[in-house]
């Protein structure tokens, strides 16, 4: 199963990349109130936003990769690797989007990393 870790991580990282693209897309659209009157104008902005479209495409590709993973390894082995995405997104959120990264979050990220390392050796 260890030989599939690169494929697993590719799917996970692509999924995290999709989140980052979606965040960037929504930042470019800006805050909005969703009401009946604003639904279609906002929908139009979302559907033509290149970041959002790229994020959705990344999700689709990550799902295809994940299906390949699930066909090859035990789900109980592969699924916990999804937590690597939390680490990547938290770090990108901090460094790119200037989001808060408290000590509690840093400790949580460290616990996740240790858990994934232990899992990868099982």
| Predicted pLDDT of residue 107 | 96
Count CB neighbours of 43 within 10 A.
11
In angstroms, rounded to a whole number, what is the distance separating the alpha carbons of residues 27 and 12? 23
Count CB neighbours of 121 within 10 A.
7
Consecutive H or E run containing 58: helix 50-70
With bands split at pLDDT 50, 70 and 90, how would you rate the model's confidence at 41?
Answer: confident
How many structural domains does the chain have?
1
Dump pLDDT digits (tens) for 7-31: 999 999 999 999 999 999 999 998 8
Closest CA to 49 of 23, 29, 20, 19: 29
User: Domain containing 80: what range?
Assistant: 2-120
| Predicted pLDDT of residue 121 | 80
Of the two residues 32 and 90, the one the predictor is more confident about is 90
Per-residue pLDDT, averaged over 107-115, amounts to 92
Dump pLDDT digits (tens) for 47-104: 999 999 999 999 999 999 999 999 999 998 899 899 999 999 999 999 999 999 999 9
Residues 6+ apart with CB under 8 A from 105: 90
Q: Are 89 and 14 in contact (CB under 8 A)?
A: no
């Amino acid at each position: 199963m260890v030989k599939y870790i690169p494929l697993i991580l590719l799917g996970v990282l692509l999924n995290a990349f999709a989140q980052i693209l979606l965040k960037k897309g929504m930042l470019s659209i800006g805050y909005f109130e969703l009401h009946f009157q604003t639904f279609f104008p906002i929908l139009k902005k979302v559907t033509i936003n290149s970041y959002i479209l790229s994020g959705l495409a990344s999700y689709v590709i990550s799902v295809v990769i994940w299906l390949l993973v699930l066909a090859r390894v035990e789900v109980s082995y592969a699924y916990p690797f999804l937590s690597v995405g939390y680490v990547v997104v938290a770090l990108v959120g901090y460094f790119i989007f200037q989001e808060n990264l408290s000590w509690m979050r840093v400790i949580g990220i460290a616990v996740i990393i240790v858990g994934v390392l232990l899992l990868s050796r099982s």
